[in-house]
Chains A and B, each alone.
Chain A
């Protein structure tokens, strides 16, 4: 447990940025009406493929206009 805490202390910038990225993708996901493919699949991708998931969603997930 101690060590886990130590790790979080060391790597917090990475964790924080990942967190912001995921939250942003979630907000955009929530507000997007139409996505390419099923919308709920994108939720899984954003949540479980960390870093790559949000990026993929931002690049190819949203249908233009």
Chain B
């Protein structure tokens, strides 16, 4: 166990050194509050920028609090996920390239502990940033739009965390048998794009497909109840997380021997 703690500390120290603990929360907050804020102030913005002909009437679509919250989430699923991938792509492959991995694994360190420590360190960083970001967007949405209850917010954060975990697990899985960070990122993004494609084709047949998580969360925020599909998607995501992590143990062991 103490080996694990040491490995975890090393990972966290590395995030400190790369200033990730500083800028990831800030960027996530920016991503989360940008859309709700600009949507709310759009009339004022248009007014200030001007250039509209006299008498133009703009029909602003009504944006509910749930819609605004979903705007934050969709920013997270685009740029947030991209940042997560870019920051995780080198976690093992980069160490392989520079020889740090060999230095560590020469010692009697369990391979699965090595991977789990990396996984957990990344997860702690991204989840705490995500929670801070969602807290700030929650604050603004309650202020500017309408109230979203704490329970709804809490469920949203918990369920969406599974998706963040999935992205981290997937990136680490591709890491486990590669020494090229760029390739890892490309494979991860490719997989996510493929999944989105499959989802857009089979959307009606597979309501539990992982990519539907945001849709179900949106539904939950609108209707205020947890649907069966949301639970099914969440359970599948959790299982996928475990499976990917387990596979990375195996492939990592194979590729280092």
Contacts and interface: CB of A to CB of B under 8 A. Distances in A.
Contacts of A4: 48
Given A18-B30, A58-B19, A7 B48 contact: yes
Nearest to A58: B23
B41 interface: yes
Q: Is the interface of A mostly helix, strand, loop or mixed?
A: helix
A58 B15 CA distance: 11
Contacts of A21: 23, 26-27, 30
Interface string B42-56: 001101100000000
B27 A24 contact: no
Nearest to A7: B48
Contact of A28 (B19, B98, B136): B19
Contacts of B34: 14
A60 B182 CA distance: 11
B33 interface: yes
B16 interface: no
Contacts of A54: 23
Contacts of B48: 3-4, 6-7
Contact of A10 (B33, B44, B87): B44
